[in-house]
Structure 1
Amino acid sequence: MLPAQRQDRIVAEIERVGGARITQLAELLGVSEMTVRRDIDALARQSLIKKVYGGATAPTRSTSDEPGFEAKSHRELAAKDQIGAMAASLIEPSTTVAVSAGTTTYATAVHLAKIPGLTVVTNSVRVADYLHAHGDRTQTVLLTGGVRTPSDALVGPVAVQTINDLHVDALLLGVHGMDPKAGLTTPNLMEADMNRAMIAATSRLIVLADHTKWGVVGLCAMAQLADVSVLVSDEGLSVEARDALSNLVGELLVADPKEAAV
């Protein structure tokens, strides 16, 4: 198991139970306690967990907490790739797609890069950079202007105006949280404005959200779950969440790890 995969498991376990001792994590992962201590130190520096005597606990977060791109990029790597592969399979060649900022949409860009004739409109510096470097030569990538957020999103009046003048076939939207009552949320006010504009620019909203986003509520609501055409998640999504989402969104798709690996 790679260090990033191991640390991902540590974060997931701590979020699941609220905290864990070093001895428990070492047994769970089949590694030494010293290795777990190093992982806990690394994760605590990124504010993904809180280091305590003998172990670690989940950090206390408010609705306005916004981890940066680098901190989020190490989490749920396999799930994000699986979600990205499935989401990209929903996009037809020679169409226009908007892509929001975030680590899951960045993982999706790897798969979008293979689709010919695609026009991509994005406010993500990372997504634009990747598609410019690796995308199909027939693709067109449009990057909005604006102010840069911790998640490397370009937001603000300039970015919103750019999107207001466009109509796209589909929107691939990453979210901070999804909740039956609160809907789709983000902790960033300006990013919420930008995402609302992107949602208004399409009739097909495709949301990309791994299982850790279920039940998370950020400061700002962007849309209700009933507005979602397709929601793509991963196999870690609980039965309870699947049942709720199936009744709320247009279509729920759970990515298959085997298909992403092909």
Structure 2
Amino acid sequence: MRESAAERHDRLLALVRERGTARVADLATLLGVSPVTARRDVEALAAKGLLDRVHGQVSWPERPERPERQGDPGARRSGEGLVLGLLAPSATYYFAEVIRGAHEAAARAGARLVLRISDYRPEEDRARTEGLLAAGAEGVLVAPSWRGPEDRLGYGDWLAELPVPAVLLERRADPGTPLDALDQVVSDHGHGVLLALRHLLELGHGTPLLVARGDSPTALAVRAGYAEALGTLGLEAPGPVIDSVPADQNPEGFERAVRALHEAVTSGRVSAALVHNDVDAIEIVQRLADLGVKVPEDLALIAYDDEVAALADTPLTAVAPPKRQVGRHATELLVERLTEAQDEEAARRHLSLLPRLRVRSSCGAPRGVHHA
């Protein structure tokens, strides 16, 4: 994929901030671009006040502390005038609501929210965040592009070294690591899975089977929550977790997942399933119908995410993580950190928000909303 100018600018800013001062010719080599391109980039960033440029070199600008607004000593305490940065892996699907909640909370505080999208490229997270700092962000909300533990290990340490307050968003740090000392606001996906399983059991089904992806922190949390819920409920899984994959990206893998679920239903091993995520669940229901298995007559099904579950031909019961509230609470916490900076003893917080279960037609139960 060709790198955009904005992405290149973020990388350039990260290089200058790391070094303090750099020659334009050296930046061209490090960025893999021509000297002319590097010079134009530097000129554009210097014009915005994001870099200082003198005699073929650039440096990270010194930023004086922002004074209180004259005649309004409570402005900083209220959050008015703050600039907040938000790094998200995507601006669509799951994270659209997280971003919306953060934007609403920032607006209520009188703060400005600046957004960067990493497009699920963990190696770009640091540069994107440096771009936010260069754009004036005084604190950041960061949802790293980690897809699994290896990304967290390979692309996570820099977060603990940020020079501004940071809140980790919809991501959990490993206990005992430097990242674990950051504020965190997350959805409790384990609780969401437990809600789904309990509901299906209350409807008279045997232990539900899990069909889930394995390519995101949410997917991994759902898988871990499933194992934990089985232990809490004293149950054994009716079979191995079925690996789900996007039908458009891996048709063969998708068909294998559907066939595995079809066999589990027609053999009588299961009559209920939890599927992560909504899109996969909708396509699985459609394909199962082609094979003669109907939802909810033959299979009670609950989806996880509740982004588009209600729009299926048979509206899907779904676990709904509190995405907008995650963005809102994280932003409020960041504003508090910035406006109460004099309180060095303030405890860091790990805030877990509970999902809801939204009951629709796909599980064969009366419709409604179950909270916990």
- Structures share fold, TM-score greater than 0.5: no
Which category of TM-score, normalised to the shorter sequence, fits these structures? 0.3 to 0.5
TM-score, with structure 2 as normaliser: 0.33
Please say which structure displays the higher CA radius of gyration.
Answer: 2
